[in-house]
Amino acid sequence: MEDKELFSMVLGDGEEVLKTYRPRKFRAFFTQIITWLLLLVLIGICCAGMLIDKESGSVSGVIVIASIFVVLAALSLILTAMWCKKTVYAITNKRVLIRTGRIGVDYKSLDFSMLGAITVNVTWVDKLLHKNTGLIAFGSMSSPLTNQGVAKFAFAYIENPYEVYKDVKAIIDTNKKEN
């Protein structure tokens, strides 16, 4: 199924999907892996001395904690894979649409008439990876952008964020005038 067809059930009369985008999987997985590695180091530093039974020299507590950690990390990566598979961003001639989910599928939309701001955020991680990814956030009166550009309506881990921003802005400007 083509990405544009994934939005057919939420399109209004006379509405058509003009462009679709998908998050870059590498960037999504990188974030999860780094988070879990940092958590592992933090747990190791804080708890290493306490986990080993000093009298018997047993490391059973370490094995239990490590097992739980591995299961949670694996579950996190599986959920990230599910999110990547279902997430598609779209621009129609009337609004911004976000299709996402892990188990089910959820849709969010923001009409162009409500749109107040668009920001591009390329973090130090995006720059460090040299994968040309970033976040495009959309703000409105009901869902304003924060100082960091974080919003309810955002295209996360988008490849070529500045080019996508220009495309999205041009589509919005053109269609705001027509509607």
State the amino acid at position 94 in one-letter form.
K
H or E stretch at 144: none
Buried-exposed string 68-90: b where 16+ CB fall within 10 A, e elsewhere: eeeeebeeeeeebeebbebbbbb
pTM: 0.80
Tokens representing 76 are 């996190």
Buried-exposed string 128-157: b where 16+ CB fall within 10 A, e elsewhere: eeeebbbbbbbbbeebebeeebebebbbbb
Angle at the Cα of 125 from the Cα atoms of 122 and 127, rounded to 5 degrees: 60
**What pLDDT is recorded for position 38?**
83
Tokens representing 138 are 């959309």
Q: Distance between CA atoms of 90 and 4, rounded to whole angstroms?
A: 8
**What pLDDT is recorded for position 36?**
82
**What pLDDT is recorded for position 59?**
59
**What pLDDT is recorded for position 128?**
78
Mean pLDDT by 10 residues, the chain (179 residues): 86 92 87 82 66 56 74 88 92 92 88 85 81 85 59 85 92 76
**What pLDDT is recorded for position 115?**
83
